[in-house]
A and B are shown apart, each in its own frame.
Chain A
């Protein structure tokens, strides 16, 4: 578990590399793409666990903070979907160079799943894609955040899809700018031009129409989609006074098992 900075000198990103432990290294690396805002805070522990477990299966794993989030450079207000897609691509290349692997599987949680899918567009070095409780429609995600903020603060922040370009809304302790909200409003995972991925795992903690729609859309494109619903307590978009982590162990184990069985995953 080695934290380091990568990226350009002006836009350094914090990465944590989990090198393989106790097993011969695999020829595919795994990049973990984090959620945003309070969901990122609550997911940090689960990502650490996932990274450690995958490293024990012989994978080089990289998790990292998006620009403007965590320890990475920039203010949260400077974050944008386009920038984060570029971050994910930079992280794929960093992992390939650092680990000496030719291909990378992407695991994305919540907004990280949408960004991972966008980053995979047009690439031929992405092996598998894991969509974990994915943000399928940006518009729905903004509505979910609006409701969560309403519950948390007792005040409705209003329709985030209509946020003025220069406005900033505080959502569960993190800013959403009008520019980011506009990008999210237009984003739809089912419309992403995914390349010919080897396999897709859609793993969710509850049944939702948006998840089913996403699975259908990806399958209709001929992708090998495996769907699993593994109910877990708690919600990502939630604030409590103690900053609790959410670790859906069954889902973490399911992701490890899925990647562990990858067809080309034999030790080098």
Chain B
């Protein structure tokens, strides 16, 4: 089957986990992406960093849907930043933007996560 052509590095940032994506995201990335998601554990939010992503095909978009379903099941939010104008349009075309919070920067995404925390506990 297709080989993984992307890496997903997980780092903790407060109550969120940031996943740094590098390379080409395709259907072949499923195993490594889901392993990264497992590493994120019980984080309140998963923040996908697309800054280092070079390419994504339709299989990659399908993987994001699967990831979103898993995150929703565990009451985790899915956010993204670092998308180029082109991939931002792909998110709009596929209507992923209706379920994934898109931000300009990591700081903005993390502020959204902490804002949500304040709202929930406030």
Genuine A/B complex: no
**Chain B interface residues toward A at CB < 8 A:** none
